[in-house]
Amino acid sequence: MKAEYINPFLVATSNVFRDLLKVQLVRGRTLIKKTPAPAHEIAIFVGVKGKNPGQVIYSMNLETIYKIASQLMPGADQAELKKEWRDMIGEVANMITGNAMQMLIAGDAGLDLTVPMVVDIRKQAPEIPPMPTIGLNFYAPFGLIEANVAFKAMST
């Protein structure tokens, strides 16, 4: 897989967490996987269209989601966080996607991204086709964030 297709998602994720949430993400090990299927119960799906179509799936557990939401809404009680977490995580995903898109355009990658979709895997299990995937874990003070970047076919 080409770094110019993967790095924009990794850099955008780190930058948004640093700028918005004031935390530095620490990258864990890189895994080669057969599918971008999420490992945690809350997932953010971003479609990749263009000359190398694929999918980017970020996932986190609900506890991590609530901690992020709590940081974005200081002073909010648990009931408020449970009501608003999806919208807040969706906005974080929009920021990451927008940043990644800018980098892909600047690099002339020939890719376009769909609007991020936040999915509670416990309630909805989308079909995820197998495709070559680079899996990365990011560690933050509030928990683990998984990023799976997958492309159906890689051009050389």
Q: Is residue 107 part of a domain?
A: yes
Q: Is residue 156 part of a domain?
A: no
**Residue among 20, 3, 4 at smallest CA distance from 93:** 20
Domain hosting residue 66, numbered range: 3-151
Q: Is residue 120 part of a domain?
A: yes
Looking at the 3D structure of the chain, how many domains does it have? 1
Q: What's the pLDDT at 70?
A: 93
Phi and psi at residue 116, to the nearest 5° = -60, 145
- The CATH number given to whatever domain includes residue 24 is 3.40.1550.10
Write the pLDDT tens digit of every residue in 54-80: 999 999 999 999 999 999 999 999 899
Q: Is residue 124 part of a domain?
A: yes
Question: Which range has the worst mean pLDDT, 36-40, 59-63, 101-105?
Answer: 101-105
What dihedral angle (degrees, nearest 10) is formed by the CA atoms of 46, 52, 54, 59?
Answer: -60
Band of residue 153 on the pLDDT scale cut at 50, 70, 90:
low
pLDDT at 2 over 80: no
Q: Chain-wide mean pLDDT for the chain?
A: 92
Write the pLDDT tens digit of every residue in 116-133: 999 999 999 888 999 999
Q: Is residue 147 part of a domain?
A: yes
Q: Is residue 145 part of a domain?
A: yes
Q: What's the pLDDT at 125?
A: 83
Q: What's the pLDDT at 52?
A: 86
pLDDT at 156 over 60: no
Q: Is residue 39 part of a domain?
A: yes
5's torsion region: left (phi>0), alpha (psi -120 to 50) or beta? alpha
Band of residue 155 on the pLDDT scale cut at 50, 70, 90:
very low
